[in-house]
Amino acid sequence: MHKDVKEILYTQEEITQKCKELGKTIMNDYHDKDLVMVGLLKGSVPFLAELSKFVNLDVTFDYMDVSSYEGVESRTITIKKDLDQDVNGKHILLVEDILDTGKTLSTVRAMLIERGAASVEIVTMLDKKEGREFPIEAKYSGYEIPNAFVVGFGLDFNEKYRNLPYVGILKEECYQ
């Protein structure tokens, strides 16, 4: 275990098992639709890679990179990398590492609906329901977690720890 990690919440084996279950449900729901899996950079990459192994359909992939800034009066979203394709009429599954306040996903979802997507759903590896400030829920969710700061399997603190093959709670002294 990494020296900065206090406790492992989910091992690689558990995450793989969870991806198998989620993949099966997603396959059932989308077997007759053209599905585009959209990864939110950078955190979703390991989860998207693992999950998509178990979605045995002719899916296509795209990526978006958005940042959320805390301003004086409100938080704003900036698109750093937009999708490569036109989503008009397509079924979009947004893939995220963690759903917290919901600001990022509610903004991105509204944007894709506005562009004419046939449907926009969310799959998240982790869900911090206690942190929610915007009315948005994931249709598919791996694990509901308490309000702790977690790293690994794509999740970072100052860009570190994304490569850990498990999800763990970061020691408080590393970010205080």
Angle at alpha carbon of residue 73, lines to 130 and 82, rounded to 5°: 75
Closest CA to 98 of 42, 50, 31: 42
CB of 173 to ligand IMP, least distance (A): 16
CB of 143 to ligand IMP, least distance (A): 12
Query: Is 100 in the active site?
Result: yes
Q: From the list 9, 97, 122, 164, which residue makes contact with ligand IMP (rule: CB under 6 A)?
A: 97
Size of the chain, expressed as the number of residues it contains: 176
Q: From the list 103, 111, 122, 167, which residue makes contact with ligand IMP (rule: CB under 6 A)?
A: 103
Contact between 66 and ligand IMP per CB under 6 A: no
What is the helix (H) or strand (E) element at residue 119, kind and residue range?
A: strand 119-127
Site string for ligand IMP, 25-44 (x = CB under 6 A): ------------------x-
Q: Which of 32, 82, 100, 127 is catalytic?
A: 100
Q: Which two tokens stand for residue 77?
A: 């979203």
What is the helix (H) or strand (E) element at residue 89, kind and residue range?
A: none
CB of 175 to ligand IMP, least distance (A): 10
Q: From the list 19, 36, 98, 138, which residue makes contact with ligand IMP (rule: CB under 6 A)?
A: 98
What pairs with residue 152 in β-bridges?
Answer: 155
CB of 145 to ligand IMP, least distance (A): 8
Closest CA to 143 of 167, 120, 119: 167
Backbone φ, ψ for residue 162 (5° rounding): -60, -25
Q: How far apart are CA 164 and CA 11, in angstroms?
A: 10
Q: From the list 149, 162, 171, 174, which residue makes contact with ligand IMP (rule: CB under 6 A)?
A: 149
The catalytic site residues sit at 100
- Residue ranges binding ligand IMP (CB under 6 A): 43, 68, 96-104, 149-151, 155
